[in-house]
Amino acid sequence: MRKVIILISVLAAPVTCHAQDQLDLSRPADRPFQCGAVFAIVEQTYLDAGNAVGAAKFRAMFQRLAPLAETEFARQGRTKQDAQRYMQERVDGLVVLQGKEPRLVADFVRRCEARFSN
């Protein structure tokens, strides 16, 4: 529980606008990658905090998006491995961004949840 409280306080830090373009949901083909990546990060955060229920929720959302992301890459003639690499790049980028702009990432989590919660 303590780790979740710390996470929430970290996510409430000030935001600057220069990173907003990195979290752009206006490109439909990229949404499964961006939101899938943020769901993977949140899942790991819940696991680190010992919250298996919260982790399972975000794991399920990630597992729904990963095939959509792979399908999008297949339409472009790219492989499943290409999609997995691209997803990992998104995760890595969001981890860095979370360290610099935690509130921005928290807002992005909420937007992705609203879009893909079902």
pLDDT for the residue numbered 5: 47
Instruction: Please report where in the chains the tokens 């990992």 appear, as a residue.
Output: 88
Instruction: Map out the domains of the chain as residue ranges.
Output: 2-6+28-116
Q: What is the pTM of this model?
A: 0.75
Contacts of 72 (CB under 8 A, 6+ apart): 29, 32, 33, 83
Q: Which amino acid is at 55?
A: A
For the segment 15-74, what is each residue's pLDDT rounded down to a tens digit?
Answer: 344 344 455 556 667 889 999 999 999 999 999 999 999 999 999 999 999 999 899 889
